[in-house]
Structures are given as structure tokens and as C-alpha cells.
Amino acid sequence: MKKAVELELKNPNSPETLTYLAFFNPKNHTGAIKFINGKKLIRHCTIKGSIERAKIRLLTNKFLVPVNIPIQSAPYKSDPQPIIDYISNILENRKNTGEAMSDESGKLSDNQNKALHMIMDSNWFRGFFSDDMPTFISGYHRENKEDSKMQIHIGTPNHGVFTVFSNSISIICKVAEELNKWDYRTPYLDDLTDSKSFDSFVKKWFEKNLQENEEFLKMAEEFKKKNLKKWGFKEKDKNFVERLLGNYHMYCIPSEIFRHVQKVGRRDGGTFGRTAGDFAKIVYDDFN
């Protein structure tokens, strides 16, 4: 049963794929239907039944988990572990086939797996998949045709949500790698994995290691302003830059994560034919 669901998640526009994508930023069932259908009213939505069945299949196989909030309409969220397993397999295959560089370790270690899960399970990363974000980082697009049953579509033809999310995290890791050329202290893997969550860890790491570094703070603020000026023509683009660069999460990703995970984007490519490296270069180069 689990293998069958995984196969459906590789289908770019299967109900399972769209449901997983909809619930990645936590929401209730009604919110997921609105996200997929792109409409405020859902009583005429023709996909309600298929999304409900997909949700049950994802819940049964633990691809979807409830958020621990004690209310009747408690939201659900997609578990990033299947994406992490996919990323680990890509890295292992790179090592086994000789594509990897000599310093690449291949398959993710248990500690790397845990750290990456913390990052992808954070409110920060999940927020990239909300309705107030542009879709170019996440690999899906919306159609506004009246005859379209589903207004949300995956833009990547192969591997469905696995490509969408592995490419998204590789973009972030590639930008983090470029930013690491600055002179500031990045955490070790154990610093993160010994913490409760990535969101709470970032706050503590910033207070302890970054907030007294005036040169770093100045560069980070200038970098954000430059990208807001370049990208922030629309409200959603502004939201994206603020999320990417505004709360210092980008500067708190351990190098043992970003140096390895950014490589998966070179294989899967990015939205509009861009790889993670292409995107990072566009974001970073203008500042230098």
C-alpha cells in the first residue's frame, strides 16, 4: 500500500500529489480544497471526493500527520520524511555511480537526516508553500481557465512532489552555501539536532552568535534590501524575500546539510528550467 502511494506521489497531478502539496503548509481539509481549487467557495468543486480519498490514503501511510492542536478542525501537515529519503537516495546514487565529488559522503547520516527533517518541518520552510508566496520556488503553477477542474498543477514532469520539494530545499541550501562566504559563524550539526526545533534554534543561535556581529548584520540587511528592490515588485515576491532572508534562518543551516543537499538540485533542475545553482547565482551575484 505504501509503495502504491509513493508511485502516486511521483505522478505530477495525481490527487495524492496535490493533497501532499496542499497540506505541506498545515491546514484543515477545507483549506486544502481551497488551495488546490483556487476558489473561495468549494461546494461546486469536482475534486472534493478524490482529495478526501487521497487524504485518507496519505494519513493511513503516515505521509500526512495531524498537527497537535486541541481543536475540532485540527489541521494536518505533510511529513517531509519521504522527501528526505528521496534526497538521501539521490546522494547515494551519485556516490555509487561516480558522479559525486571526492568530498561527498553519499547517503545522509542519521544525524543529517534528523537535521534536515527539522529544517523541512519548520514553520519557516513550510511557509514557502503558503498562498501568499510566489510559486517559482516550489514548482507548481495555477491555471485560471474556467473549464479547468484543478487550478493547481505541478510544473515538473518527473517524480511529482519528490522533485518539487527536493529542488526547493536544494535551492535554499545553495543560497546558504553562497552566503556562507561571508565571515560569520555557522552551527555544527549537533548544535541543531540537540535543539527542540529549527525555529527555536535559530532564535537562540542568532542571540548567542550573530546579533553582536555588526558587520554581518549590516551585510545581511543590505543583501535583503537589494533583493527586495530586485524581486519585490509584487506582494508575493516581497513575502518570499522576507521569508528567505528576513529572520536569519538561512544563516543557521549547518554546513553538513547545505554542502550536500544543494547538489540534488543539479539533477532534478528547477522551475522554468533553472537549477538550484542558477537561482542562487541570480540572487547572490548582484550583491558582489
Residue 186 confidence (pLDDT)? 92
Give the span between the Cα atoms of 130 and 224, in whole angstroms: 21
Cβ neighbours for 250, distance < 8 A, ≥ 6 positions apart: 172, 175, 176, 179, 244
Helices (H), 155-213: 160-179, 189-193, 198-205
Give the span between the Cα atoms of 115 and 118, in whole angstroms: 5
Identity of the amino acid at 177 = E
Residue 187 confidence (pLDDT)? 95
Residue 99 confidence (pLDDT)? 65
Whose cell is 505522478? That residue is: 11
**Torsion (CA) 90, 244, 164, 200 in degrees, nearest 10:** 70
Residue 182 confidence (pLDDT)? 83
Q: What does the pLDDT look like over 167-220, one tens digit per residue?
A: 889 888 888 888 888 878 999 999 999 999 999 999 999 999 999 999 999 989
Supply the DSSP symbol for 150: -
Identity of the amino acid at 19 = T
Which helix (H) or strand (E) is 236 found in, with range? helix 235-245
Supply the DSSP symbol for 173: H
Question: Which CATH class name applies to 1-79?
Answer: mainly alpha
Give SS3 for 27. strand
Q: Which residues pair with 77 in a beta bridge?
A: 65
Residue 33 confidence (pLDDT)? 83
Q: What does the pLDDT look like over 135-155, one tens digit per residue?
A: 655 556 555 545 444 456 565
Listed as own residue / partner, the contacts of 103-106 with beta carbons closer than 8 Å and 24 or more positions apart are 104/260, 104/263, 105/260
Residue 46 confidence (pLDDT)? 57
Q: Where in the chain is the domain with CATH 1.10.10.10?
A: 1-79
Give the span between the Cα atoms of 278 and 281, in whole angstroms: 5
Residue 9 confidence (pLDDT)? 85
pLDDT by residue, tens only, the chain of 288 residues: 688 888 888 887 788 988 998 899 999 888 888 888 765 444 545 567 888 899 999 999 999 998 876 555 668 999 999 999 999 998 888 777 766 565 566 789 999 999 999 999 999 999 988 878 766 555 565 555 454 444 565 655 556 788 888 888 988 888 888 888 887 899 999 999 999 999 999 999 999 999 999 999 998 998 888 888 877 668 888 888 888 888 899 999 999 999 889 878 644 444 433 444 555 555 555 545
Strand ranges (E), the chain: 64-66, 76-78, 140-142, 152-154
